[in-house]
Amino acid sequence: MLITELKSKDVIESLISGKSFIINCHGCMEVRFPEKEADALEKDLVQAGKVTGIVTTDYICNPDNLKLQLKNHAEEIDAADSILVFSCGVGVQTAADLYPDKPVYAACDTIRLPGYQGVTPLETDCGQCGTCYLNLTGGICPITACSKSLVNGQCGGAKNGMCEVDPEMECGWERIYRRLKALGRLDAMRCPTQLHNFATDEATRECKES
């Protein structure tokens, strides 16, 4: 089971300037999704006129499936300045890969529950770190795409764009830099210094019991 927790309302509201298209993933049974809280928040956003459309579906971590689900929403997505995704980190990354020209934001944090690794398809991975960084990194996960799981930009080790640890792997932070640059969002890298919170890596008792 993967556990997602909603980011705070302030954080989510601060992400979307203008209008947003919303994707909800009620995907795998194994994922605990804060459905009620998400619903309430989305209603508020709709009322404030900030939403161009909502799609609620499953398994958005599968890119082909996601494409299919979004087929009839092209106009709504076009009209939106950003895409807000309520899912685990893998779903957000899949959406971000699909829309490299539009900011794709994570509305949830994904938390680890020992024993379960998630239904992780393809090469996209979420380390369930508990403090989702995707909104600062153009939708590429620094925890899994960087060999050192760095959260403040790249180390000096990449050579010809490849990671110092694994020459077969592209440096995750160079990918993040390119993605943010293409989106015109390099300012995201001027955020305050990030400290990885290892206390949120573990699911809280409250989460486990529910």
Is 171 an interacting residue with respect to ligand SF4 (CB under 6 A)?
Answer: yes
Read off the tokens for 149. 């799981």
Is 173 an interacting residue with respect to another protein (CB under 8 A)?
Answer: yes
CB of 160 to another protein, least distance (A): 6
Is 158 an interacting residue with respect to ligand SF4 (CB under 6 A)?
Answer: yes
CB of 159 to another protein, least distance (A): 5
Among 41, 66, 129, 180, binds ligand SF4 (CB under 6 A): 129
User: First-to-last CA distance in the chain?
Assistant: 12
Alpha-carbon torsion (122, 26, 37, 183), positive or negative: positive
> Which residues from 12-71 bind another protein, rule CB under 8 A?
none
Read off the tokens for 17. 């300037």
Q: Which of ligand SF4, another protein, none does 134 bind, CB closer than 5 to 8 A by kind?
A: ligand SF4
Among 54, 56, 58, 127, binds ligand SF4 (CB under 6 A): 127
Residue with tokens 């890119």: 63
Question: What are residue 155's DSSP bridge partners?
Answer: none
User: Helix (H, G, I), strand (E, B), or coil: what is residue 187?
Assistant: helix
What residues have CB less than 8 Å from 76, skipping those under 6 apart? 21, 52, 53
Q: For the chain, what's the residue count?
A: 210
Instruction: List residues near ligand SF4 by CB under 6 A.
Output: 89, 109-110, 126-129, 132-134, 141, 143-144, 146-148, 150, 154-155, 157-158, 163-165, 171-173
